[in-house]
């Protein structure tokens, strides 16, 4: 006879489904990520901000001329070198999170692993964050704001058997060296700069989980 799951078991299964979703990885170009993760790629200057975990909600935000001008200034500050541009990219990602927060309701988005807020509008898991960061990067690339990097597909790490939880990140590839860099905006709360590091380092590092209080 079927025995109903206990509340603890239900929570555990829900957690497994969510973190497993974060293990998904696109092997195509950056735009291929959207079709396999229920996201919507940017259309002209409009981005579709994912939230609620796994792109349950998608809120359109259109960037004005003033927004694009602000992004251009931010990214122009990094034109001197690839490393400087990566710092500018971090600034731009933090800017986007603050820019869309009122529209999306993500002002209080919690950084890192936060199973208690799964399905809550305005809260984001790694799929949401990877999608949103990739959307921003594609808009900046379209407007030729990036000098030293191309936007590349998100990458994932961890699959439980290696002792780590699944996790995904947006990426950029340095044109000169071909080095891929993680642009991980999931680890920190809304409006904070993402972690940026060579993808090999990101793949090897121990996961940092931030539980809501």
Average pLDDT, the chain: 82
In angstroms, the CA 82 to CA 181 distance is 11
In this prediction, residue 13 carries a pLDDT of 38
Residue 149 phi/psi, 5-degree rounding, is: -140, 150
- C-beta separation of 85 from 174 below 8 A: no
In angstroms, the CA 144 to CA 156 distance is 27
Residue 195 has pLDDT above 80, yes or no: yes
Residue 160 phi/psi, 5-degree rounding, is: 70, -50
Tell me which residue of 118, 112, 210 sits closest to 167, measured CA to CA.
112
- For the four alpha carbons of 25, 141, 70 and 48, in that order, the dihedral sign comes to negative
Query: pLDDT-based confidence at 206, cuts 50/70/90?
Result: low
């Amino acid at each position: 006879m079927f025995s109903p799951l206990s509340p603890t078991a239900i929570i555990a299964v829900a957690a497994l489904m969510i973190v497993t979703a974060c293990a998904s990885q696109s092997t195509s170009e950056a735009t291929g990520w959207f079709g396999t993760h229920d996201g919507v790629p940017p259309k002209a200057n409009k981005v579709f901000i994912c939230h609620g975990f796994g792109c349950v909600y998608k809120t359109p935000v259109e960037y004005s001329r003033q927004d694009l001008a602000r992004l251009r200034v931010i990214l122009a500050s990094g034109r001197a070198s690839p490393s400087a541009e990566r710092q500018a990219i971090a600034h731009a990602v933090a800017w986007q999170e603050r820019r869309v927060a009122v529209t999306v309701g993500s002002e209080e988005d919690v950084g890192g692993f936060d199973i208690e807020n799964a399905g809550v509008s305005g809260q984001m898991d790694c799929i949401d964050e990877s999608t949103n960061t990739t959307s921003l990067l594609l808009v900046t690339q379209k407007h030729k704001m990036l000098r030293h990097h191309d936007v590349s597909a998100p990458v994932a790490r961890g699959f439980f058997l290696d002792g780590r939880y699944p996790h995904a990140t947006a990426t950029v590839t340095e044109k000169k060296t071909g080095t891929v860099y993680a642009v991980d905006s999931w680890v920190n709360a809304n409006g904070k700069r993402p972690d940026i590091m060579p993808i090999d380092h990101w793949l090897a590092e121990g996961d940092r989980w931030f539980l809501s209080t």
